[in-house]
Structure 1
Amino acid sequence: MLVTVASFSFPYEAQIAKAALESEGIKAFVADEHTINMQWLYSNAMGGVRVQVLEYDLESARLMLNQDHSMKVYAEVGERQVRYCEYCSSTNMEPFTKGKKPAYLVFLFFGMPLFFYKHGLKCGSCGRFTKI
């Protein structure tokens, strides 16, 4: 029997998790990938793109997916670039998509998506948005 070990907003994230699990010898499957690819606004309503494993592999899969591999990345790529807020000089910067909610509302009312959102960073201290 298949059980869901993780869910993601985007199919590529689920594919990365599946590849990581399979590299450890855990058979994994991706559910709802094509539906979310066709209608990305359904992602939250459907619970995202789900990565599923066999029931007896559930604990091993959870442990594997919850490991922090950032030090391996830093060793391979180099030190992490620290970003500062240009308004308050805080280092508490998080990835953020500005305009995602209005784009969803436009899709609901007009039946077609208008992509007017911006990707950037949001300061966790002062709340200001900075476009990358």
Structure 2
Amino acid sequence: MNQQFVTIATFNEVTEAHIIKGRLEAEGILCFLGDEHIIGAQPFYSVAVGGVKLKVTEADAEEAKAILGHIQGGTSEFVLTDELELSPMQEHLPNKTCPVCESDNVAEEKYNKTVFSLSYLLLGFPLPFFSRKYKCYNCGHFWKEKRN
């Protein structure tokens, strides 16, 4: 059986179209973008070709339009989890505990964030000055481990 695709929305920006496409795909809706490469290469052609076209199957069109309406109306709901996401500069340490609250929700900060950020702003690339600080995510306590 052939599936017919219908255009449910058009966008002037490729990035905006990709964000909406990702959300629809997360909801299990098959979709693709038309004319994204033309507009990505020549953004001023957006008006001439009619923008980036978000296309879905006819069977999913109504559901996709409803989701798109929620997103554009600002009423889109997202499921949040309680899992801790650490930045690439941090690593969870299950065998360490906080000296203040005895929590094991502790991470080692491998790089000095201030030097890392300033060198990136001034030089254009970050210099990895190592820090060896620990942070407790329950009470917010920072400490350095004593070496023997």
- Give the structure-1-normalised TM-score: 0.51
| Residue aligning to 1:63 | 66
Read off the aligned partner of 2:13 and give its amino acid letter. Answer: F
Read off the aligned partner of 1:8 and give its amino acid letter. Answer: F
Report % sequence identity: 42
1:72 CA drift (Å): 6.7
Change (3 A) 1:40 1:24: same
| Residue aligning to 1:96 | none
1:45 CA drift (Å): 1.4
Read off the aligned partner of 1:22 and give its amino acid letter. Answer: E
- 4+ residue segments displaced more than 2 Å: 68-73
Structure 1 or 2: more helix by fraction: 1
Per-residue deviation, residues 68-95 of structure 1 (Å, max 9, x unmatched)? 464679xx9xxxxxxxxxxxxxxxxxxx
| Residue aligning to 1:14 | 17
| Residue aligning to 1:50 | 53
**Count of residues in Structure 1 that have an aligned counterpart in Structure 2:** 74
Mapping of residues 116-131 of structure 1, within 5 Å? none
CA distance in structure 1 between the partners assigned to 2:23 and 2:63 by the alignment? 12
| Residue aligning to 2:30 | 27
CA distance in structure 2 between the partners assigned to 1:11 and 1:19 by the alignment? 12
Contact 2:6 2:58 in 1 (8 A): yes
CA distance in structure 2 between the partners assigned to 1:5 and 1:59 by the alignment? 9
CA distance in structure 1 between the partners assigned to 2:76 and 2:11 by the alignment? 23
1:48 CA drift (Å): 0.3
- Structure having the higher Rg: 2
Read off the aligned partner of 2:32 and give its amino acid letter. Answer: F
CA distance in structure 2 between the partners assigned to 1:38 and 1:28 by the alignment? 21
With a CA cutoff of 8 Å and minimum separation of 6, indicate the structure with the bigger relative contact order. Answer: 1
1:11 CA drift (Å): 0.5
Task: Return 5+ residue gaps in structure 1 as ranges.
Answer: 77-132
Per-residue deviation, residues 54-79 of structure 1 (Å, max 9, x unmatched)? 01111110000010464679xx9xxx
